[in-house]
Structure 1
């Protein structure tokens, strides 16, 4: 899960996305990560789930990690929420956020889409996992690549 130089996000884009994650995480104890996958895949959900585990996102105290898995090569976007979120939220919890992100992606506004999705995720998670005084940032905010 190293850092790969890519033409998908500039360092300025990365900075904007990381700032959006940090801002969103101020409202919730939930943890948000972005992973950019350049390897093509036939099953994006399985691949995203594999990355979720490789990034050890299932090891948060409240099991409230969220992964935005982006595959520019395959034009795919998957959201994986850990079991703490999935047990506390309705089945269609991610649908609106995913649709909003994809609307921006279709116009090739990737950074705007990700930032908007991150912001909405932070707001949505606040209801179920409000920020606590003793919260610590359990997962890194930087973007991972493969």
Structure 2
């Protein structure tokens, strides 16, 4: 079974809708990548690799955020581009990661992603509020491997 089959079409649409709603408040760009297994031991390293593969570093404000999830390995990461990391305090993603961890531990991957995405949108709004002429620079679709 491929990773795309791990989430129903309805679950995928809920996650995409969460991305779209979160991006209404911020110029930040949010993506989700889901795979069954993390190649390598470190989910942060894999998330960095996926971030590059998806071209997420090409946003104007370097404010892309990737939610990475390896379901079978029970690993995840949340990473932001350099524009975010230069402006936010240490531990900026901690509350988002804790929210994800709680839902993922209970097997609620869809709800965890939706709530984590909403939290990221709220947090990013402080540093990257949405401008009246903001454009969606990255696809809201979930990427799968």
Say yes or no: TM over 0.5. yes
TM interval, short-chain normalised = over 0.9
CA deviation map 1:21-72 (0-9, x unaligned)? 0000000000000000223331211111000000000000000000000001
Counterpart check, 1:56 vs 2:55: yes
CA distance in 2, matches of 1:27, 1:108: 28
Q: 4+ residue runs of structure 1 moved beyond 4 angstroms?
A: none
Structure 1 residue ranges without an equivalent (≥5): none
TM-score normalised by L of structure 2: 0.95
The alignment yields a C-alpha RMSD, in angstroms, of 1.1
Counterpart check, 1:131 vs 2:137: no
Which residue does the alignment assign to 2:106? 107
TM-score normalised by L of structure 1: 0.94
CA distance in 1, matches of 2:128, 2:90: 17
CA distance in 2, matches of 1:48, 1:6: 18
Which residue does the alignment assign to 1:140? 139
Which residue does the alignment assign to 1:74? 73
Which residue does the alignment assign to 1:83? 82
Which residue does the alignment assign to 1:35? 33
CA distance in 2, matches of 1:141, 1:7: 18
Structure 2 residue ranges without an equivalent (≥5): none
Aligned positions, number:
143
CA distance in 1, matches of 2:135, 2:109: 29
